Structure 1
Amino acid sequence: MGERIRLWLDLIRWDRPAGWLLLLWPTLSALWVAADGFPGWHLVAVFTLGTVLMRSAGCCVNDVADREYDRHVKRTAQRPVTSGRVSVREALAVGAVLALVAFALVLTTNTAAILWSFAALAIAMLYPYAKRFVSMPQAVLGIAFSFGIPMAFAAAQSRVPLLAWVLLLGNLFWVLAYDTEYAMVDRDDDLRIGIKTSAITLGRADVPVVMACYGAFLAIWLLALAPRELGAPFYIGIVAAVAQALWHWQLIRERTRDGCFKAFRLNHWVGFAVFAGIAAGYAVK
């Protein structure tokens, strides 16, 4: 049994928390904004645990959907499903259990959040198959990875106002930035096996577009939240995020695999900087 658990932990990328941190920080940021300050430990726990669970469930579905492609990519060839150590049925069962536990957490909130959770699940399940048909599947991922934002507003306010969708739009640009960096790592392999990605679609425009997406993300969040008057902490957080984005430009401008992968792996600190600025801004407001 111990070996099965180790395989399941590998399946859900337990040793690589960057994935769920990329989801967590914008979700918690939206939760603080929706609650106009600290939202209470119940909602913090629900959205933190729910984020980890749903990202883990998404990994299960993604690995099943991509198993025939992943075997041709050195970085992914040894994933549990691709290598045959975990069966398709077992992976889907693990994913289903994780999703059900996440849904049980949502049931402790309110009707609005429960209803929106079905849309969130549908989008999360759609993404793994988007790369077969959409030239910019990162945009689909952007919606999936941003859906914690309207969910947070629904849980805190029992509604999803325009501000939530504006913040989702901004976050979509951030996902496009970091997932294009991720796609740049595998561009040669993806071209060979016929996968569609933003890195392939953009070609030599990849680096400028990534930087433009960083700029759009931070500009939209800055303008959308400026009326909240969160003071110096918020602006310090935005400046810290800008500084990191400029550092990432240094990492990706030569388009090396190591540089692009490092930029992707460290992106959660961009989200943390924005969240820390928002939380600190409300704390001193």
Structure 2
Amino acid sequence: MNAGAPMEAIAAPADATASWVERYAPLAARPYLRLARADRPIGAWLLLIPCLWSVALAARMQGGWSPYAFALLVLFAIGAMAMRGAGCTWNDILDRDIDGLVERTRLRPIPSGQVGVRGAFLFLVAQAVIGLVVLAFLPPFAILVALSSLGVVAIYPLMKRIIWTPQIVLGLAFSWGALMGFAALLQDLPSAALLLYAGSILWVVGYDTIYAHQDREDDAIVGVKSSARLFAEATPGWMVAIYAIAVVLMGGALHAAGAGIAGWIGLALFAGHLAWQIVRLDIDDPALCLVLFRSNRDAGLILFAGLALDAALA
């Protein structure tokens, strides 16, 4: 923290909203909770949702819900919160110089001096330990699949400096949960898992492109690449193609898993929500872009509800 500045005087980042962190958390804990994005749970939701999909589809393939399948929902929720926080911490450590130059992120804990790099590393380790505890409850094959994601997670923050579509790498990382339900319940990765993973990757590319339009001008100034800058005014057309292919791939996953009518209704409603996002999208309205980005939690939960009901009916 900057010398002489009381902790209360340091504002939350511009992209944060009033939350339980600001209302109830001890002052000393607030910068670390912001570092883990505990004040913005949307990221944890979006990391968790592919896990939920995969558990429901894998349960369908097993013939219905089991006590272990329900337990996996809880384990994956804990793991998603811990690993999302760890990923954000790692991202902020690597991006601390860039974040200081972007209006939306300049007051994040590290560039604003609220948390030092050493403290951030220790916090990262603590969150990773929680993730490892969750892994201990999974079968060996699922543990191996989970650990295989670490390379992608580690390199993602660097991709915005290298390629124009870092959202693809984010999709590879954030969609890993689409494999985990199958790995834990079936101890296998059937075609349904791979199709669901591919569809989820494109879903992530789509919603993070919407999110990236908030920073398009600042990203151009500091030289950060993104699909928002690449697609620019053509973004709505690209979104149609990206979301459409995502839905087709997810439909392939449902077909491969033998999904019933409830699952297909869930997918249809999910597709309708994505179409609504494209119709509403205005890339020059940052506030609307944030609203549409966050609405993907609802889209994902709608699909999960259909898949969960379908597994129950099995």
Give yes or no for TM over 0.5. Answer: yes
Q: 1:12 corresponds to which residue? A: 36
Q: 1:24 corresponds to which residue? A: 48
Q: Secondary structure at the match of 2:28?
A: helix
In the alignment, structure 1 residue 137 sits paired with structure 2 residue 166: yes
Q: Which of the pair has more CA radius of gyration?
A: 2
Q: 1:210 corresponds to which residue? A: 239
Of residues 24, 27, 38 in structure 1, which corresponds to 2:65?
Answer: 38
Q: 1:3 corresponds to which residue? A: 27
Q: List runs of 5+ in structure 2 lacking aligned partners.
A: 1-24
Tell me the TM-score normalised to structure 2 length.
Answer: 0.86
**1:254: how far off?**
5.0
How far, CA to CA, are the matches of 1:231 and 1:164 in structure 2?
A: 17
How far, CA to CA, are the matches of 1:228 and 1:152 in structure 2?
A: 13
The 5 Å alignment of 1:1-285 reads 2-36=26-60, 37-39=64-66, 40=68, 41-285=70-314
Q: Which moved more, 1:83-92 or 1:137-146?
A: 83-92
Percent of residue pairs bearing the same amino acid type: 35
Q: Which moved more, 1:157-166 or 1:73-82?
A: 157-166
How far, CA to CA, are the matches of 1:124 and 1:227 in structure 2?
A: 28
Tell me the TM-score normalised to structure 1 length.
Answer: 0.94
- Aligned AA (2:127): L
Q: List runs of 5+ in structure 1 lacking aligned partners.
A: none
Aligned CA RMSD, in angstroms, stands at: 1.7
**1:227: how far off?**
4.8
**1:242: how far off?**
2.1
Q: Tell me which protein shows more helix as a share of its residues.
A: 1
Q: Which moved more, 1:87-96 or 1:230-239?
A: 230-239
- Aligned AA (2:192): L
Q: Which moved more, 1:158-167 or 1:120-129?
A: 158-167
Q: Which moved more, 1:20-29 or 1:35-44?
A: 35-44
How far, CA to CA, are the matches of 1:206 and 1:92 in structure 2?
A: 37
How far, CA to CA, are the matches of 2:283 and 2:159 in structure 1?
A: 28
**1:161: how far off?**
2.2
Contact 2:191 2:256 in 1 (8 A): no
How far, CA to CA, are the matches of 1:241 and 1:127 in structure 2?
A: 27
Contact 2:35 2:88 in 1 (8 A): yes
- Aligned AA (1:18): I
How far, CA to CA, are the matches of 1:153 and 1:283 in structure 2?
A: 17
When residues 16 and 253 of structure 1 are mapped into structure 2, their CA distance, relative to the original with a 3 A threshold, is: same
Count of residue pairs brought into register by the alignment: 285
How far, CA to CA, are the matches of 2:178 and 2:257 in structure 1?
A: 17
Contact 1:18 1:266 in 2 (8 A): no
How far, CA to CA, are the matches of 2:152 and 2:252 in structure 1?
A: 27
Contact 1:143 1:172 in 2 (8 A): yes
How far, CA to CA, are the matches of 1:274 and 1:121 in structure 2?
A: 27
